[in-house]
């Protein structure tokens, strides 16, 4: 049992973990990007009543460790509120609201970098605030923030390892279990390789998106 490594079963177990990590990644990205955009927009509204809660949310999410947030959302509901929660859903939820906070600030930076003159021009041309935002501002913002979003995505791929703290059987945890089975660090080395492969795909994807959006200069 604690002996020579059965490579095919090790790889298959690590692949199971990789699939979990990939699922976590996609769900988080798909949910947190729109949420981040929404939060960014809310953050820019002039009402204190809207701004203060949003600022508070951003502070908490970015100011406390993600690993602690995961533990909080996993154990607070059953112990204090009295209902059970599914591990994987907790991970998706926690990652989503955490990354949405980071994306919100990234979006806001991008939005505020668009010259105000464009808004004035759009107003003169008869476009509503909403139309201006969706059809003029956002496409330009997307192009500008691609490098930063790419970086955050790569961080997310690695952050999926944190879900192991609440028992999600993703890549890092599976590597850890295998380490006990074979008394070897080789599973970790292979896991590291898998993370690298995942992130290479992510990097290549964003590189393509950047090229496609480069249909004009500036």
Contact between 133 and 119 under an 8 Å Cβ cutoff? The reply is no
What is the x/- site pattern for another protein, positions 50-89, by CB under 8 A? ---------------------x--xx-xxx--xxxxxxxx
* Among positions 57, 73, 133, 182, the unique one binding another protein when judged by CB under 8 A: 182
Identify the sign of the CA torsion 85, 86, 92, 98.
positive
Q: From 50, 156, 159, 152, select the one nearest 110 (Cα to Cα).
A: 152
Residue 210 contacts another protein per CB under 8 A: no
Nearest-approach distance from CB 78 to another protein, in angstroms: 3
Which range touches another protein (CB under 8 A), out of 26-34, 98-106, 146-154, 192-200?
26-34
Q: Are 169 and 17 in contact (CB under 8 A)?
A: yes
Q: Given the rule CB under 8 A, which of 4-12, 102-110, 115-123, 144-152 is the region that contacts another protein?
A: 4-12
DSSP 81-96: I-----HHHHHHHHHH
156 Cβ neighbours under 8 A, 6+ residues apart = 25, 28, 29, 95, 99
d(CA 27, CA 61): 18
Site string for another protein, 135-174 (x = CB under 8 A): x--xx--x---------------------xxxx-x---x-
Residues that bind another protein (CB under 8 A): 1-3, 5-6, 9-10, 12-13, 23, 26-27, 30-31, 33-34, 71, 74-75, 77-79, 82-89, 92, 134-135, 138-139, 142, 164-167, 169, 173, 176-183, 185, 215
């Amino acid at each position: 049992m604690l002996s020579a490594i059965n490579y095919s079963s090790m790889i298959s177990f690590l692949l199971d973990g990789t699939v979990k990590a990939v699922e976590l990644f996609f769900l988080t990205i798909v949910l947190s990007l729109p949420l981040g955009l929404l939060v960014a927009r809310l953050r820019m509204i002039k009402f204190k009543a809207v701004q203060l809660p949003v600022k508070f949310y951003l502070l908490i999410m970015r100011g406390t460790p993600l690993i602690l947030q995961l533990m909080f959302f996993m154990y607070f509901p059953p112990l204090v509120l009295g209902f059970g929660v599914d591990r994987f859903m907790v991970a998706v939820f926690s990652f989503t609201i955490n990354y949405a906070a980071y994306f919100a600030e990234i979006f806001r930076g991008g939005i505020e970098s668009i010259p105000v003159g464009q808004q004035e021009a759009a107003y003169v041309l008869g476009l509503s605030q909403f139309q201006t935002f969706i059809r003029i501002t956002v496409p330009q913002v997307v192009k500008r923030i691609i490098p930063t979003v790419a970086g955050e995505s790569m961080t997310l791929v690695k952050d999926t390892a944190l879900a192991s703290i609440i028992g999600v059987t993703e890549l890092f945890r599976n590597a850890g279990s295998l380490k006990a089975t074979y008394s070897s660090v080789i599973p970790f080395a292979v896991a590291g390789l898998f993370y690298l492969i995942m992130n290479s795909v992510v990097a290549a994807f964003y590189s393509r998106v950047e090229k496609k959006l480069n249909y004009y200069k500036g």
